[in-house]
């Protein structure tokens, strides 16, 4: 038996008391000393009124009082010594959707000074212990939950071998230069048939989000045509390659690659292996963040354009550990500013 009462044991104790058992008998049943039983009964005394006041043992009361004592037991957590730090942490997690690690990393990058210094692990522990007034585990986006996907039969690819991701340059895989993108669709309500087209730059992890009325090749090509009209001759420098999955909306790679100016080539398209989303890891990661704001099954057609635009910027403006706590927006600006 454990040294301390558990909530289940407290519930058992409450039942034994109601059954009229003596403290010595209860101690034998629970494997505790009579003195321990006596102290526990005293801890759980709860006042009731029925014609007159009387006291009874309640497991919930005892558990609550035990947890209150445990919370203040031992040394005071050092984060409690700096209210300003706690306020800034709460603001970053609640208002900016930062994770605890990103919060501390960004503070260090910006050179903010506080009375105490803590690491990510200490901050997580403080949140788990309930030391913050406005944030708890419920405010943490990821809880390390992984779902194992079922293996699926591999279907033959419908594009030439030279378009396979295996023929993509090694420098693209290693993210050594800007201008190489991943592209995918985020589906809305199935009955509506609409979607979002997401383009993610591999090095900066910066993404564009576009609304598609229908998840079709024509809609995707219209988006690329619009981007080419916007960037003109710089389109080829910005969108050097685009890696996509084997969805039907991407199969006509020749039209995706064909420029609207002079019928020349504007980019190079590569296809991932079937059912291998990890080959578009940055894109999939960004799509997961979109789901924070646009849940699965929501009709994208009713979402205002401004909300989609704000979602794009909110995610791009969030610092990332893999970028040394810079934002994707900050990193992509270095690329756009140095386009020859």
Q: What percent of the chain has pLDDT over 70?
A: 93
Residue 151, pLDDT score? 47
pLDDT value at 254 more than 50:
yes
Residue 204: per-residue pLDDT:
96
Q: What percent of the chain has pLDDT over 90?
A: 64
Q: DSSP readout, 140-185?
A: -S------PPPP-PPPPPSS-GGGBGGGS-HHHHTT-SS-EEEEEE
Whole-angstrom CA distances from 173 to 46, 167, 180, 201, 265 are: 66, 11, 9, 12, 22
* R_g of the chain computed on alpha carbons: 29
pLDDT at 144 over 60: no
Residue 339, by phi and psi: left (phi above 0), alpha (psi -120 to 50) or beta?
Answer: beta
Q: How far is CA 65 from CA 47, 59, 205, 289, in A?
A: 14, 10, 49, 40
pLDDT at 149 over 60: no
> Quick one: pLDDT band at residue 106, thresholds 50, 70, 90?
very high
User: CA nearest 12: which of 33, 40, 34, 39?
Assistant: 40
SS3 208: strand
Centre a 10 Å sphere on the Cβ of residue 13 and count the other Cβ atoms it contains: 25
Q: Residue 103 has which token pair?
A: 């919060």
Angle at 148 between CA 145 and CA 149, to 5 degrees: 130
Q: Would you say residue 13 has pLDDT above 50? A: yes
Q: How confident is the model at residue 145 (pLDDT cuts 50, 70, 90)?
A: very low
- Which pLDDT band holds residue 101 (cuts at 50, 70, 90)? very high
Lowest mean pLDDT segment, chosen from 49-53, 218-222, 268-272: 49-53
Q: Phi and psi of 236, rounded to 5°?
A: -65, -30
Q: What is the mean pLDDT of residues 18-33?
A: 90
DSSP character at residue 191: T
**Residues 158, 246: contact at Cβ < 8 Å?**
yes
Count of CB atoms within 10 A of residue 184's CB? 23
The mean pLDDT of the chain is 89
Beta carbons of 334 and 322 less than 8 angstroms apart: no
Residue 270, pLDDT score: 96
CATH 3.30.460.10 for the 161-336 domain, yes or no: no
Task: Pick the closest to residue 315 from 164, 96, 110, 138 (CA basis).
Answer: 96
Average pLDDT in the 22-51 region?
89
Q: Which residue has the higher pLDDT, 270 or 66?
A: 270
- Token pair in block for residue 186: 């985020």
Q: Cβ distance 272 to 244 under 8 Å?
A: yes
200-245: pLDDT as tens digits: 999 999 999 999 999 999 999 999 999 999 999 999 999 999 999 9
| Residues 93 and 135 sit within 8 Å (Cβ to Cβ) | yes
- Read off the pLDDT of residues 299-340 as tens digits, 9 standing for 90 and up: 998 999 999 999 999 999 999 999 999 999 999 999 998 887
pLDDT band for 74, please (50, 70, 90 cuts).
low
Structure tokens at 152: 């699926």
Identify the band that residue 192 occupies on the pLDDT scale cut at 50, 70 and 90.
Answer: confident
- Quote the pLDDT of residue 157: 59
pLDDT beyond 90 at 261:
no
């Amino acid at each position: 038996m454990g040294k301390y009462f558990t909530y289940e044991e407290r519930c058992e104790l409450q039942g034994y008391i109601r059954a009229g058992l003596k403290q010595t008998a209860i101690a034998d049943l629970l494997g505790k000393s009579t003195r321990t039983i006596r102290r526990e009964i005293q801890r759980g005394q709860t006042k009731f009124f029925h014609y007159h006041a009387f006291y009874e043992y309640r497991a919930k009361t005892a558990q609550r009082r035990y947890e209150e004592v445990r919370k203040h037991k031992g040394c005071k957590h050092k984060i409690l010594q700096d209210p300003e730090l706690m306020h800034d942490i709460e603001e970053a997690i609640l208002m900016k959707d930062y994770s605890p690690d990103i919060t501390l990393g960004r503070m260090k990058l910006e050179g903010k000074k506080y009375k105490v210094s803590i690491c990510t692990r200490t901050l997580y522990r403080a949140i788990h212990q309930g030391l913050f007034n406005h944030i708890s585990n419920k405010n943490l986006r990821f809880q390390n939950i992984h779902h194992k996907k079922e293996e699926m039969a591999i279907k033959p690819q419908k594009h030439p071998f030279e378009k396979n991701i295996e023929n993509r340059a090694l420098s693209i895989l290693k993210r050594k230069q800007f201008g190489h993108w991943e592209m995918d669709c985020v589906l809305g309500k199935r009955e509506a048939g609409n979607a979002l087209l997401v383009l993610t730059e591999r090095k900066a992890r910066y993404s564009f989000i576009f609304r598609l009325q229908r998840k079709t090749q024509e809609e995707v090509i219209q988006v690329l045509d619009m981007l080419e009209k916007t960037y003109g001759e710089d389109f080829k420098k910005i969108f050097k390659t685009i890696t996509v999955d084997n969805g039907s909306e991407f199969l006509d790679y020749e039209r995706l690659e064909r420029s609207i100016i002079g019928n020349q080539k504007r980019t190079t398209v590569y296809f991932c292996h079937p059912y291998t989303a990890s080959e578009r890891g940055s894109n999939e990661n960004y799509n997961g963040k979109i789901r924070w704001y646009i849940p699965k099954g929501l009709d994208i057609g009713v979402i205002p354009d401004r909300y989609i635009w704000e979602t794009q910027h909110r995610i791009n403006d969030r610092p990332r550990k893999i970028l040394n706590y810079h934002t994707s927006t900050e990193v992509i600006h270095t690329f756009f500013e140095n386009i020859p």
